Amino acid sequence: MVSAVCSQAQIEREGTPVSWNIGQNLSQHNIWQTYVLPDINVLLAEDAANTDKSIPFRFAFAHNVSLSTTNSGNWTNLHNGDRIWTLAIECVDAYSIGIIFEYMNLPRGGKIYLYSEDHRDYIGPITASDNRIAQLGTTHISGARLIIEYYEPYAYRGDGDFKINYISHAYRNIGDASEIMTETCLELFNTSVTTGRNTSASVLRMLVDNGQRVATATLINNTGNNGMPYVLTSSTAMIGQPSSWVFQFGVTNSNCYIQPVTCGALAICGAYVVRTDEQTGVTLLRLRSQPKNDWSAYYSGWKITETENTNSNYQCIQHALGLPQSHCFYFSDAETSDLNGLSTYRMTAPLLGGTFDGSTGSPLFDEEMNLVGIFIGGDSDCSDSGNDHFGMISTSWTKFREYLDPRQIVSDKLEGAYPIVASDDQVSNWDVSFFPNPAKNWIYIQTNDDFSLPEVVIHDAAGRCVMNVKPQVPTIDMGGLPEGFYTITFKRNDQVISKSLLIR
């Protein structure tokens, strides 16, 4: 039996759904809502026609729905006045199912669980700590049948409010590469090899586009060594609302094949767009929470002095085709080039392995396993022809320096690390909030101390900076911003707090 909990945007596997512990079988009341793919042959033909590796790999189809406790599912009243709502979903012939909540507003004590019909795979609890006005995505639950369960305590009866607006129906199995490996030059990454083992723990599988596409991202260190969860990826990976993206840790060969129930079990829901370098197509994100210490997440080191024609060996670690980590090796000089108007370094086709759909956002490491670039796209193939293109950190450094080098001490490179994340009682007491949210013409900033107001930086959903001010008064004019989702970041010295903002 396996489980997962999504709390404070983290997903891991522990606990059990309430209905399993009360000796009451709610499945007898299930009326399965069935969803069928529009035409699997059309979907596969569309996938086959796509030769652009810069686009995240599609493995699922997102059914657009509008499901809530008021228009679907069943309520069961318990003897103590508490109640449980269940919704049974069937996606015909699906390998797995993912859910996108349009918004989440749970009361204290309210809990949501998602689980497979056989109870072998589940996510939960989602609680009030996960409340948000924007979308919330989940990892996929294996199998073609999924049950969503919401427990509501009697004291808060009727206070829970949430809506499901997408059901992700997987028509490809992204947990098994056995068939693909017989047909391609895919080389699975061997985590038992000492070289690169640490680095592998920084490479994340990224679910985007309402849970139907896969890209790759990399957890990256900063000179504060404070566990700030920055990740680098490609700007083309940013499909859908950042709050709905899911970042899975440890999706490796050993976890998925030797211990399949733990594959993708550790994840973080949602991110903030920090900065996009429009010159290279590289984007810096900040995860909504830090991975826990016992996840053994590695924050990759990096190098900013990589130049062309360095005659070096490079390695790219990726979630090609959405599968567990694979890698490819380049034994050639890096040459400055461009791809679709982006400034890149071009590598001739890999000598070992290859890049595929889903490789977008993958990290490029040098011989010392320093992160030097991000895969943007290319046309290399298994016949050793074509080229791959990478946006280089050295080119993007002026855009990312204030975040990755807050102490301004790096002239060449920074080592990777397993930083110790502070527990809740060790975290700085400084906090900042604002209202209203959603906003229209203005917001009012509040801090929990009497010091000066923080610097305020606002980025739109594409990562473009649309406002950067050091306010003298707590009211900030929002009248010039169009409707949409934004990331608002508050900065004071070396402290950074990011939140979601909706303008409407």
Q: Quickly state the pLDDT bin for 1 (edges 50, 70, 90).
A: very low
pLDDT digits (tens, 9 = 90+) for 59-116: 999 999 999 999 999 999 988 889 999 999 999 999 999 999 999 999 988 999 999 9
Neighbouring residues of 354: CB distance < 8 A, sequence distance ≥ 6: 184, 185, 186, 187, 320, 328, 380, 381, 382
Domains of the chain listed by start with CATH number: 5-170 (2.60.120.290), 188-302+398-414 (2.40.10.10), 303-395 (2.40.10.10), 430-503 (2.60.40.3080)
| CA–CA dist 308, 311 (Å, integer) | 8
Question: What is residue 395's predicted lDDT score, i.e. its pLDDT?
Answer: 95
On the question of pLDDT at 180 being above 70, the answer is: no
Closest CA to 337 of 361, 309, 315: 309
CB 280 within 8 A of CB 391: yes
- Lowest-pLDDT choice from 334-338, 358-362, 412-416, 471-475: 471-475
* The two three-digit tokens of residue 332, written as one number: 């050639």
> 179: part of which helix (H) or strand (E)?
helix 178-181
What CA–CA distance (Å, rounded) separates 208 from 181?
A: 24
Token digits for 359? 């490789």
Confidence (pTM) = 0.84
Angle at 243 between CA 260 and CA 130, to 5 degrees: 80
Q: Is a pLDDT exceeding 90 seen at residue 427?
A: no
Q: Is 286 helix (H, G, I), strand (E, B) or coil?
A: strand
485 compared with 423, residue with greater pLDDT: 485
Pairing type for strands 455-460 and 442-447 reads unpaired
- What radius of gyration, in Å, describes the C-alpha atoms of the chain? 23
